[in-house]
Chains A and B, each alone.
Chain A
Amino acid sequence: MSVLVGKDTKLLVQGITGKEGMFHATGCRDYGTNVVGGVTPGKGGQVAEGFKVFNTVAEAKSESDANATMIFVPPPFAADAILEAADAGIELIVCITEGIPIHDMVKVWRSIKDNRCRLIGPNCPGIITPGEAKIGIMPGPIHMPGNVGLVSRSGTLTYEAVGQLTKLGIGQTTCIGIGGDPVHGTTFLDCLKLFNEDEKTEAIVMIGEIGGTEEEEGAEYIKKHVKKPVVGFIAGQTAPPGRRMGHAGAIVSGGKGTAESKMKAMKEAGIHVCESPADIGETVQKVM
């Protein structure tokens, strides 16, 4: 078992003929993901590096029966790409693009919230079920199949945590990067529910950061519903207030969204909170 992505994933890549799109489409295929084609308006009918290219997502969907898409479209056009995928009935939309205007994203979010599709990201590394398939830009070889579900707002910090787990021989069911933007599709809460209901997932790692209140909401859910051990870390304990720390969503403003308040809420929910990012792997080992 795993969540959201696996052997039955049939992936499209939007923006496949771009440099990044092609690089990571190939990376996903090499990892074992069933990449059924790509979309670049105006380049339909071509075959690029063995990938069939379509003009529209709707056309690609009807030809290939794709059920997932990975978006590499540049920021000015990314909102349009997400809505096109949703409209075509793609179930899982993973948007890697960083730098989408926030006013575009709130409109996208309002539009798709009642749709049956699920959006992961934007500004995220994607999602991977080790040994089965990946949709994203994460390095495959650092992962190993196993029983820990991981959810994070970060990219490389997620790799760091995964690397620690794998070195200790602890594998992962699925790792999800939900992205560093303030407005994003899938939340901590959504992922925690998925992992809680997934039989194979025996422990959960949640890696948050300053800004917003999603970690607190996740902690509230864990307190009420999760019996599996949960290990947590919050990045940005030393970040100055009022500054955006790289991610648009990572900001402490008006005294809200501090690492302190998140860590407190998580501890109160029974989550094993690591003070140091180097302790994530060892803490999981201890609690499992």
Chain B
Amino acid sequence: MLRKGGKNGIFAFLVLIDSEGLNVEKRGRILKIHEFQAKEVLAKYGISVPQGYATETTDNARELAEKLGGYPVVVKAQIHAGGRGKAGGVKLAGSADEALTHAKEIMGKTLVTHQTGPEGKQVKKLLIEEGCDIAKELYLGIVLDRASYRNVIMVSTEGGMEIEVVAAKTPEKIIKVFVDPAIGIMPYECRQLAFGLGLPKELIGPAVKIITQLYNAFVGEDLDMIEINPLVITKDNSLLALDAKLGYDSNAMFRHKDAAEYRDLNEEDPLEIEASKFDLNYIKLDGNIGCMVNGAGLAMATMDIIKYSGGEPANFLDVGGGASAEQIEEAMKIIVSDDTVKGLFINIFGGILRCDRLATGVVAAAKKTDVKIPIVIRMEGTNVEEGERILKESGLNFIIGHGMRDGAEKVVAAVKG
């Protein structure tokens, strides 16, 4: 769908939210999912994964461990971040009692990994899974190569390590094949990878199969990335996907309605969820100057100029090219609900948008949301003078910025007092 504007657009949107829970079709985003869900997807494409059960409570941990029918079992925290093992989120258990102990310890714990940020992520789901005897750990992943516009399959003998680290330290240990998306994966490409890994002869066939299946999943599910890390060779000489990670292209969710259920709101910032309901692109940052901008490029440039003027941006927020009155109101609510925000910079390059209308919308929104912090507005478009008069006569604490630089300097000064 193209950008929606006007009252009818917003109304239609609210109806959609009521009937389908939440809008996941946020353009340009990636739908991240949990390990146990990624393994469901792999299994759907015929790739072997360990047997396991996901749970949101520790009450059934003992029972689930027993159901697996053998020990050791592994208790794994399910959060949308890597590095769980090092942070104490993955533990091996030799008995049902031990599985329960580990489950109780991990559930509710806040894991801090290199991918969670310093605040960490609280564990609300666990995966209890059968253990396996590992002979060797490999890496297998697929992403789109932005330079060649081909899907690149990567394999490495350095399984279990982060691929970025391998790429930085020992790039020669990554083997790549660039697949033409118009033709799709060919067996010779898989063989190049399988032989490149130095696999024993009896594993070449199974490896070709698993690479083909993974490629089919990548394309069939409209994925942004998929990786099996590690892909293990077990002691009985078979290939098993021990850990998996993938992300859906949210632009393609209209083809994957079922996958929308994979979304876990616990893993997202509450303000970002709120923003996504109103078709706003919002990303929370660490500073104290909120910004509301139309268009992604200008929104980034606005963050940059705040920093350049000596301030720190509190967020990225793109209200879309049109910037309707409803979106401005919702955007304002979201920004000011973050109490670290001490000032707001509204930077709208309207062009054909009439500034008097924009100003009326901003005044109404500020009155409704009862904004107390200083607001600097920079508007460009037709009827600028009329727009400025409306702001001045509103009786609210508006400061008018003439151009981006002036606006940024004024908001930085206002926040510093």
Q: Which residues of A contact B (CB under 8 A)?
A: 18, 20, 27, 72, 74-76, 96-104, 106-107, 109-111, 137-139, 141-142, 152-160, 163, 180-183, 207, 209-213, 233, 235-240, 242-250, 254-255, 275-278
- Chain B 312-347 interface mask (CB, 8 Å, partner A; 1/0): 010010100100000000000000000000000000
Check A240–B283 contact: CB distance below 8 A: yes
Q: Which residue of A lies closest to B28 (CB)?
A: A248
Instruction: Tell me the bound Cα distance from A171 to B77 in angstroms.
Output: 59
Question: Which residue, B180, B249, B307, has most C-beta atoms of chain A within 10 A?
Answer: B249
Instruction: Tell me the complex Cα distance, A213–B119, Å.
Output: 32
Q: How far is the CA of A251 from the CA of B318 in the complex (A)?
A: 15
Contact B222 A156 (CB under 8 A): no
Q: Are A246 and B281 in contact (CB under 8 A)?
A: yes
The interface centre, meaning the residue of A100, A238, A247 with most chain B CB atoms within 10 A of its CB, is A238
User: Do the beta carbons of B299 and A102 come within 8 Å of each other?
Assistant: no
Tell me the nearest residue of chain A to B297, going by C-beta. Answer: A154
- B interface residues with partner A (beta carbon < 8 Å): 1-3, 25, 27-30, 115, 144, 146-147, 149-151, 164, 167-168, 180-182, 219, 222, 224, 249, 251-252, 254-255, 281, 283, 285, 293-308, 313, 316, 318, 321, 349-352, 380-381, 403-405, 408
What are 5 A-B interface contacts by the 8 Å CB criterion? Answer: A101-B249, A139-B350, A159-B351, A183-B144, A245-B296
Residue of B nearest to A110 (CB): B182
Q: How many angstroms from the CA of A278 to the CA of B8 in the assembled complex? A: 36
Shortest C-beta distance, A249 to chain B (Å), equals 8
B-side contacts of A278, CB under 8 Å: 305, 403-405, 408
Assess whether A160 is in contact with B301, with CB atoms less than 8 Å apart.
yes
Q: Which residue of B lies closest to A103 (CB)?
A: B222
Interface centre among A157, A211, A243 (most CB of B within 10 A): A157
Contact indicator B307/A237 (Cβ below 8 Å): yes
B contact residues around A211 at 8 Å (CB): 146
Distance in Å: Cβ of A232 to nearest Cβ of chain B: 13
Does the CB pair B181–A154 fall under 8 Å?
A: no
Chain B residues with Cβ below 8 Å from A153 are 297
Q: Are B224 and A156 in contact (CB under 8 A)?
A: no
User: What 8 A-B pairs come out closest when comparing CB atoms?
Assistant: A154-B297, A246-B296, A139-B351, A156-B295, A157-B297, A278-B405, A101-B252, A248-B28
Query: In the complex, what distance in Å separates the CA atom of A74 from the CA atom of B307?
Result: 37
Name B321's closest neighbour in chain A (CB-CB).
A155
Residues of the B chain whose Cβ atoms lie less than 8 Å from the Cβ of A103: 181, 219, 222, 249, 252
Query: How far is it, in angstroms, between the C-alpha of A237 and the C-alpha of B309 when the chains are bound?
Result: 13
Q: B297 near A76 (CB under 8 angstroms)?
A: no
The answer to whether A246 touches B28 (Cβ under 8 A) is yes
Chain B residue nearest in CB terms to A233: B301
The residue that A154 contacts in the complex, of B149, B151, B285, B295, with Cβ under 8 A, is B295
- A contact residues around B224 at 8 Å (CB): 102
- Given the contacts A100-B251, A245-B316, A255 and B301 also touching, CB distance less than 8 Å: no
Residue in contact with B251 in the complex, picked from A141, A154, A248, CB distance below 8 Å? A248
In the bound assembly, the distance between CA atoms of A239 and B285 in angstroms comes to: 9
Q: Do the beta carbons of A156 and B283 come within 8 Å of each other?
A: no
Q: Nearest-CB distance from A276 to chain B (Å)?
A: 5
Q: Are A157 and B298 in contact, with the CB atoms below 8 A?
A: yes
A160 CA to B407 CA in the complex, in Å? 14
- Contact across chains for A158 and B404 when beta carbons are under 8 A apart: no
Q: Smallest CB-CB separation from B287: which chain A residue?
A: A238
The distance in angstroms between the C-alpha atoms of A235 and B295, with both chains bound, is: 12
Residue of B nearest to A20 (CB): B2
User: Are B182 and A111 closer than 8 Å at their CB atoms?
Assistant: yes
Minimum C-beta distance from B344 to chain A (A):
17
B149 and A183 within 8 A (CB) = yes
User: Assuming A74-B1, A152-B297, is B305 touching A106 (CB within 8 A)?
Assistant: no
Complex contacts, A99 vs chain B, CB 8 Å: 1, 25, 27-28, 251
Q: Which residues of B contact A159 (CB under 8 A)?
A: 298, 349, 351, 380
Q: In the bound complex, how far is the Cα of B296 from the Cα of A163, in angstroms? A: 17
A246 in contact with B300 given A102-B249, A107-B182, A156-B349 (CB within 8 Å): yes
Q: Looking at the complex, which one of B28, B281, B294 makes contact with A156 (CB distance below 8 Å)?
A: B294
Docked Cα-Cα span, A244 to B28, in Å, equals 8
| Chain A residues within 8 Å of B144, by CB | 102, 106, 182-183
**A102 and B251 in contact, given A245-B316, A246-B316, A277-B301 (Cβ under 8 angstroms):** yes
